[in-house]
Amino acid sequence: MILIHLHEGKAFVWKAEDVQEIREKHGLIGNLVGALVRKPRQNARLGLPLQLSTEETRLLVEIGAATLDSIGSNSSTDDEETSRPEVDAYKQFLEESYKEQGQLALEEKRRTLERLSDHIAEGRTKRKRQHDEQEGTQMDCSTRGPIKELQNLEKTFNFPREAMMVQIPTARTPVGSVQPVDLYQASADWPYSGQSEHETRYKVFKDLWEKGYFLTSGNKFGGDFLVYPGDPMRFHAHFIALCFPQNKKIPMSDIITAGRLGTNVKKTVLLCSPNQEGTVTYTSLQWSGMQ
């Protein structure tokens, strides 16, 4: 079961396995909003968590693929006691990882010294010879230096914790009390229940999804949804969907604007109007210009 966390009306999925299932099995896209660990100052490619739209969230819950919860702001003693074993296990994992990485770093250091031992000895001999010529004395030019370093490497080698690679979990035991959220009861975490605009958009979204289309936000093209014949990674959007309640009067200027915009971006505009039963009527617009 996919776990969706709600926070102030926004829905997030943190587990990578759940994100994969949402896209591959259910044909829903969402929007990655997390910064990448190694490149936090760019926004061309983002990572977990996955933020779901209200329509995607409601659909997953209604088909029985996901559950909603809200994390309370106050943690109780029971919550702390419950999370303590997980915290201890994670600390133990970090300590074992540090020892393993330290051993690997030690072996790499030994291989490096063995590979460069002749070069190191040659450089030391050259520096000693130059020193002898300048001081007029004779020093021991033994090449035992690198060999001695190799013998004492385990005692002298130090692997700083700051150099340790740390795996950042994408799912964890939440701090605070987890509370189930009722999809059909308006609350601070889910304020959309009963809103006419949400109901209209959701009926259109669900109908197009059931027809096999993929949908993303259509804000950048002035619509409610962009409608794709397949995964957006492989296809361009064919339609711009605009949602209107049934029998609502639409200003002619809005229709003209939508038609011209769709033509400019080579997409067909769909005027989508659902009735009370959820049946959606579609009207397509294509701007042909002056004849």
Catalytic residue numbers, as ranges: 228, 236, 267
Q: How far is CA 191 from CA 122, 196, 245, in A?
A: 75, 12, 20
Provide the Cα torsion 163, 164, 165, 170; round to 10°: -120
Strand partners, 281: 273
Tallying the residues shown for the chain, one arrives at: 291
CA separation for the pair 2, 42 (Å, rounded): 29
Look up residue 194 and give its amino acid.
Answer: G
**What gap in Å lies between CA 286 and CA 291, rounded to an integer?**
14
Instruction: Please name every residue paired with 285 in a beta bridge, in sequence order, or none if there are none.
Output: 269
- From CA 109, how far away is CA 153, in angstroms rounded? 9
Residues 199 and 272: beta-carbon distance below 8 Å? no
